Amino acid sequence: MAVGIFDSGLGGLTVLDAVTKRLPDVPFVYLGDNAHAPYGVRDADDVYGLTCKAVERLWAEGCDLVILACNTASAAALRRMQESWIPADKRVLGVFVPLIEALTERQWGDNSPPREVAVKNVALFATPATVASRAFQRELAFRAIGVDVEAQACGGLVDAIEEGDMILAEALVQSHVDALKRKMPHPQAAILGCTHYPLMEKEFQAALGPDVTVYSQANLVAESLADYLERHPNMLGDGTEAKFLTTGDPKTVSSRATQFLRRRIEFEAA
């Protein structure tokens, strides 16, 4: 009954933490492609190839359902995977869906025409690859009209977080928020469009100001997954063991992950 969680590095641990708390009886297999992180600076074909390889590895662990806890993979690879690659008995889901559901206050299965929503000015903070894909804007446009999205590519932020340099990360958050505000002085909402960024949520909120609603993904994904599994219990795979896998050096990744979640995490080689 295992479910797979994939990320290019450690950011997906924020999602893993939330889904584990929400679904404590489900074993989760986490795979971090630390050897090839970060994905945010790679082109779409490269991201697609790496993501497919990682998903196949999780299928081999008995995870028929895999969550792409990587926004870059969700943006650059997921649609292509769903259209031509994923077999009928498997599912791969991304992390944009719960975010857009929350922002538009409508369920993903609601296929009625786009309509106006309360939030008109949205700041999107994401990796360069996610920003370049325009996937968030495309999916949002199917469901809402009249929403102005200003995207800010947060170069260097994932690297700083992965390396545990929180002083640099905080400085980068302030710099990227300042750059965003030069383009959109008064956003109503801000999307943290990378699963690394919840670790800097307080810094984003402080830089944006108290009047901006900050949407972070982890808890939204957890609630969405619980709902999905209630509706599709057959998608629980035959894996029974929770584990942490990495394409990088297990010792190094385990040490950083332990700092990341503030609890002991032991990775093994994928």
- Which residue bears the tokens 């700092």? 259
Known active-site residue 154? no
**List 52, 63, 70, 154, catalytic entry:** 70
Known active-site residue 194? yes
**E strand or H helix at 4:** strand 3-7
Tokens of 5: 């969680």
Which domains are present in the chain? 3-94+218-269 (3.40.50.1860), 97-215 (3.40.50.1860)
**List 52, 63, 154, 194, catalytic entry:** 194
Rounded mean pLDDT for each run of 10 residues along the chain, 270 residues in total: 93 94 96 93 94 97 95 92 94 88 75 85 94 89 90 94 91 98 97 90 97 90 91 86 96 91 93
Q: Is the distance from CB of 67 to CB of 3 less than 8 angstroms?
A: yes
Task: Output the pLDDT for position 260.
Answer: 82
In whole angstroms, what is the distance from residue 136 CA to residue 133 CA?
8
Q: Taking the CA atoms of 257, 261, 266 and 268 in sequence, report the sign of the dihedral they define.
A: negative
- Count of other CB atoms within 10 angstroms of residue 111: 9
Task: Output the pLDDT for position 265.
Answer: 94
Task: Output the pLDDT for position 109.
Answer: 63
What is the value of pTM for the model shown?
Answer: 0.87
